Amino acid sequence: MNDYVERRRRARWRRPLTAAVLSLSALISTAQIAHADASAPALSLAEGQVVRGQITVYAGGAPESRLSLELDGTAVTAEPASSLPATVLFEADGIQSGSQRLLNSVWVNGEMVTLINRDYSGFATVAVPLPAGSLHDGANRVTVRAGDSVSPTSLAKNHDDFTIRNVRLRLLDGTELRDPAVPADRHLSIGDGYPGGNATEEQVTRNFGIGVPAERLRGVSYDLDTRPLTDGPHTMRVVAGDDGGQAHRDVTFRVDNTAPRIISTSPAAGERVNGGDVTVQVNAIDSVSGVAGATAVLDGRAVPVPDRFPVENIPAGSHQLTVTVTDAAGNADTETIRFSTVEVPIARGARDKGRQDHGPVSGPDAPVLAAAGDVACAATSQVTPKTCHQAGTAALVRQLEPDAVAMLADGQYDVGTLEAFNSSYDKTWGTFKDITHPAVGNHEYAQAYYPGARADGYFDYFNGVGAADGPAGDRQRGYYSYDLGRWHVVALNGECGVVSCAPGSGQYRWLEQDLRAHRNKCTLAYWHKPLFSALYPNRPANPDTKPLWQVAERYGVDVVLNGHDHSYQRFDPQNADGAADPAGPRQFTVGTGGVGFHTDLSPTANLAVANADTFGVLKLTLRPTGYDWRFVPEPGNGNGTFTDAGSAACGHLAPGQARK
């Protein structure tokens, strides 16, 4: 069981049954019931199931006094069981528990049974096993609950929004029971509306009253210790009745108490990866139940198996890989190996897009750059005064007539698939696609944080379907640079768990090389997740990005742009440790592209101004020796009126202090 679930079960989170739960007689008399074959009793063991260690076997389908069990032809002692295991089933569309890490859950009789741990769409079936003891005679309450990122019961943050139908209980004997008041084909919406927050219980829960008759709930149990048994097939028989009239069911199951064996790994122990890709793979055998899956942890971060990524996407040096292989019974073999990578040479001028100041508006000496991130809600989301203003901010950008647009990532919510980009972002900000220089963020990667994670929808949209490179940069790296007017501009990949930002990584060394090669007086860099934030006062908000700031600071970058925080924040120049420094970069956080707001901002060191109630765009006029900034609010539509403007010179560092 998930550790989080077990902790919550021990804490016994309970909620009282509502008065709306029907009486047992009403539930049973009108419930929609699907009956299984009643000619034979039921077993919790499935045909061909592989088991190991100590398990409990349950039998039902007849009064417990008439049930008996045999193992491989020998009678065993069974005990009465007052509540057999069962399964909650329903179809779901739009659950994003996996990609968005939202804590959706299923509860029975006031206790959480499980967190839903993956996405479901297209009304895919969710099956939640209920352990013995979860149900009781009479009325039972099944609850499906939309969660936020804090806890299954929190009401404060944005909740998942999804639709369910056909909620039912499947008992051990195959009988299916439903709430008689809820037709199986009725679609039920759960959630607080994107992006939501401050939800009510009524918005985020759906309760179902299901009556279970005692004769279908009770049975017998037997504690089976498989360890003395030989690996391989065995037979469990359940018998209902006496010598005068017996019905029985035989189930052949397999015992496997032997762990699989890892034969080899990739990389191999002691291997030195000199270039190309790192491939994470494992070769293992299991002679009884077969290898069922493998997991891996690379330098403390979980990665899938198999996985593949450019060698420079992790820092050069020594690495630790722990691989675990499981068989169908759950036995596991684990091996930890060390391998090393080397610094791969970076071609001079790699990922440099060249000059991008072809716009007719401001001329080559003072181009206008419009910047914002966190842009488009899903096409099905509703526009409110505080959400989903991508069309309004797009109209604003059109009015500004910029020479270039810096999209500061999370352009499309919740997950940036190509279909999602085309259905919402493209219909608004897509107008400026030809002059957009995007950054990649956590929603483009569907909240995945491991080397080799993919943001295919984002790269397919901006580069072309399947294209290895293009305006958004190399598909496996996502960082690049270009010149705009007399400024040099660098777009970085701030998802440092995917493409490392650490010293020794390819991105870090490329950034040093790129800034060293471009001796422009004025330089601007942007990536998604900010190092400094009023959401995390007086401490690094995203410390993985600190090495990027350190390089930017060392080579005289004047302006850093970020998104991620759904607000506008302007900081005074500072160094990577958060100390005021007139030669350091000035950070602008512009997560105001349309999705919504993060309102819990607090004073923090060097924060000059902040706002979280106005959608808008940062207009930067990039002059040869300085820049003008102006935060321009989207007009009307219930939007706020906040604005911010100023000017600064660039090129603060003394000759020879940087760009050596």
DSSP H or E stretch at residue 295: strand 291-298
To the question of pTM greater than 0.95 for the whole model, the response is no
Nearest to 346 by CA among 104, 462, 509: 509
Please indicate, yes or no, whether residues 89 and 201 belong to a single structural domain of this protein.
yes
Of 163, 189, 217, the residue that ends a domain is 217
Please indicate, yes or no, whether residues 312 and 461 belong to a single structural domain of this protein.
no
Please indicate, yes or no, whether residues 186 and 265 belong to a single structural domain of this protein.
no
> Which residues, at least 6 apart from 524, have a Cβ–Cβ distance to it below 8 Å?
369, 487, 488, 489, 490, 557, 558, 559, 560, 561, 620, 622
Of 182, 197, 217, the residue that ends a domain is 217
Determine, yes or no, domain membership for 320: yes
Please indicate, yes or no, whether residues 539 and 414 belong to a single structural domain of this protein.
yes
Containing structural domain, residue 271 = 261-341
Residue 525 backbone phi and psi in degrees, to 5: -130, 150
Determine, yes or no, domain membership for 462: yes
Other CB atoms within 10 Å distance of the CB of residue 628: 15
The dihedral sign for the CA sequence 26, 27, 31, 33: negative
Angle at the Cα of 429 from the Cα atoms of 567 and 501, rounded to 5 degrees:
55
Determine, yes or no, domain membership for 55: no
For the chain, how long is the longest CA-to-CA vector?
A: 103
Counted residue by residue, the chain has a size of: 660
Quote the number of domains for the chain.
3
Please indicate, yes or no, whether residues 517 and 394 belong to a single structural domain of this protein.
yes
Determine, yes or no, domain membership for 77: no
Please indicate, yes or no, whether residues 484 and 566 belong to a single structural domain of this protein.
yes
Determine, yes or no, domain membership for 598: yes
Instruction: Read off the tokens for 3.
Output: 């550790």
Residue 414: is the preceding peptide bond cis (ω within 30°)?
yes
Q: What is the spatial distance between Cα 565 and Cα 537, in angstroms, rounded to a whole number?
A: 13
CB 299 within 8 A of CB 314: yes
Which DSSP string do the residues of 229-275 spell out, in sequence order?
A: SPSEEEEEEEEES-TTS-EEEEEEEEE--S--EEEEEESPTT-EE-S
Write the CATH number for 461: 3.60.21.10
Please indicate, yes or no, whether residues 305 and 426 belong to a single structural domain of this protein.
no
Q: What is the spatial distance between Cα 614 and Cα 391, in angstroms, rounded to a whole number?
A: 14
Determine, yes or no, domain membership for 192: yes
Please indicate, yes or no, whether residues 140 and 275 belong to a single structural domain of this protein.
no
Of 160, 188, 217, the residue that ends a domain is 217
CB 112 within 8 A of CB 152: yes
Other CB atoms within 10 Å distance of the CB of residue 466: 9
Please indicate, yes or no, whether residues 495 and 623 belong to a single structural domain of this protein.
yes
CB 580 within 8 A of CB 374: no
Q: What is the spatial distance between Cα 324 and Cα 319, in angstroms, rounded to a whole number?
A: 17
Please indicate, yes or no, whether residues 325 and 368 belong to a single structural domain of this protein.
no
Please indicate, yes or no, whether residues 330 and 377 belong to a single structural domain of this protein.
no
DSSP conformation class of 545 = G
CB 379 within 8 A of CB 423: yes
Write the CATH number for 299: 2.60.40.1220
CB 452 within 8 A of CB 309: yes
The dihedral sign for the CA sequence 329, 334, 340, 343: positive
> Residue type for 193, please?
G
Q: What is the spatial distance between Cα 246 and Cα 227, in angstroms, rounded to a whole number?
A: 31
Question: Which parts of the chain sit beneath pLDDT 50?
Answer: 1-36, 361, 654-656, 659-660
CB 561 within 8 A of CB 408: yes
CB 434 within 8 A of CB 462: no
Instruction: Read off the tokens for 501.
Output: 């930002």
Determine, yes or no, domain membership for 177: yes
How far from 170 is each of 84, 116, 121, 271, CA to CA, in Å? 11, 18, 22, 51
> Residue type for 567, please?
S
Determine, yes or no, domain membership for 492: yes
Q: What is the spatial distance between Cα 501 and Cα 367, in angstroms, rounded to a whole number?
A: 29
DSSP conformation class of 422 = I
DSSP conformation class of 580 = B
Q: What is the spatial distance between Cα 396 and Cα 604, in angstroms, rounded to a whole number?
A: 30
196: left (phi over 0), alpha (psi -120 to 50) or beta: left
CB 254 within 8 A of CB 234: yes
> Which residues, at least 6 apart from 150, have a Cβ–Cβ distance to it below 8 Å?
103, 156, 157
Please indicate, yes or no, whether residues 527 and 576 belong to a single structural domain of this protein.
yes
